[in-house]
Amino acid sequence: MKVRRTTLFRFLALAVFMFLVNRQSLFTGSGANDSAAVARLAAEGRFDEGSYGMTAFVYAMIPGSFRPILVYLIGSWFIFYSLRRLHTNVHGAAMLFLGLAPSILTVATFQKDLLLVPFLIAAAWSIERFPKGIALIGAVGGIYVFYGYLFRDYYFLILFFFLSILAVRKLALEWKFLLFLGLVLILMVTPVSVLQTLQGPRDTVNYYRLNDPNFVGARTAFFNLLPIDGAWSFTVNYVYALIRLNLAFFLDPGPKELFLELNILAYFFAIITGLRSSSRIARNAASLLLAHLIVLTFFEPDLGSYIRHLASTLPIAAIPIGEYFSRRRWRFVLKSQASLGREEAQSAA
């Protein structure tokens, strides 16, 4: 029996994930910090510590012998769903590469982002199942509201930006300009306390990390450039974070930074090609990816955390990436010669 190369890509990605489970320390000194924090909170019965506390509650409810099985099940589901449609060898290689970051940072231990995976897969499925209208908004909105209520309230903000991007896509240029002016006005009148809530966590987290000589994994951590005292400083800090998070390799070159930078470029590629696509489904997926990126830039404290959260959206990013490769012929295509011949005959006719 001949095995399709698409299947080989999937099983290779799965094998890589299986190898990386509980082996993050081979690649990152802080990879297991979140899972250790969850286990500690569960042991202490501290379930009121925000998203960590809720994850610890789930952790405590699951028998210890079943936790590793759950990690393998959710991680395998994540890999297979993200690589469920591969069109070419180049597409397969790209998705295999993009599966590395979440395999290292996201789905290889029992941590917050592991429990996020089912919600994001459900969102990706909803985008493909409901390409337009109230059904799309209701499905994705319901998923994000439910997850935001249980785990991370900033998912309400991601949903807000997603709905805003959907609306902006339908507006004429002059209305887009007026909307931009309206957003600037809203930013100008937003209370400083709200702005500090959005950007302050970066300084809070990094204060201890950057001032502790024994802390491992703060190589790309940074503080806000200015004290958060108004719209101007908030905007400057946001632009500064955009540069520090998305151009880290060019600011501090290194092999790890190169790996993470290539991941970032791939997600920007998915957003840009998706928004420009003729496919409504690809545009919707790219809009949700962009909403994630906008919100993560508010508070992410370092490059590793940024990539961990961004990489968890791979099931959604797979939609515009797959649509791009489905419309372009690359060398070493995985389609059979017979199917290619039929396509050429149909196009000639």
What pLDDT does 244 receive? 94
What's the rounded Cα separation, in Å, for the pair 114 and 32? 13
What's the rounded Cα separation, in Å, for the pair 164 and 89? 36
Q: In 10 A of CB 25, how many CB atoms?
A: 11
Tens-digit pLDDT profile for the chain (349 aa)?
344 667 888 889 989 898 888 776 666 655 567 788 888 999 888 888 888 899 999 999 999 889 999 999 999 999 999 999 888 888 999 999 999 999 988 898 898 999 999 999 999 999 999 988 899 999 999 999 999 999 999 999 999 999 999 989 888 888 888 888 888 899 999 999 999 999 999 999 888 888 776 666 667 888 999 999 999 999 999 999 999 999 988 888 888 889 999 999 999 999 999 999 999 999 999 999 999 999 999 999 988 889 999 999 999 999 999 999 988 755 444 444 444 455 444 444 4
Q: Which of 54, 25, 23 is nearest to 38 (CA)?
A: 54
What's the rounded Cα separation, in Å, for the pair 42 and 46? 6
What pLDDT does 51 receive? 86
What pLDDT does 339 receive? 46
What's the rounded Cα separation, in Å, for the pair 10 and 51? 31
Q: Would you state the torsion angle of the CA atoms of residues 265, 266, 271, 275, taken in this order, to the nearest 10 degrees?
A: 110
Q: What domain range includes position 106? A: 5-22+30-348
Q: Which residue has the tokens 């995976």?
A: 117
DSSP string, 186-233: HHHHS-HHHHHHHHHHHHHHHHHHHT-TT--S-TT----SS---SHHH
What pLDDT does 25 receive? 63
What pLDDT does 330 receive? 54
What pLDDT does 18 receive? 87
333 phi and psi angles, rounded to 5 deg: -65, 155
Number of residues that this document lists for the chain: 349
Q: Which of 182, 326, 181, 297 is nearest to 235 (CA)?
A: 297
Q: Which residue has the tokens 């930013």?
A: 187
Question: How many domains, the chain?
Answer: 1
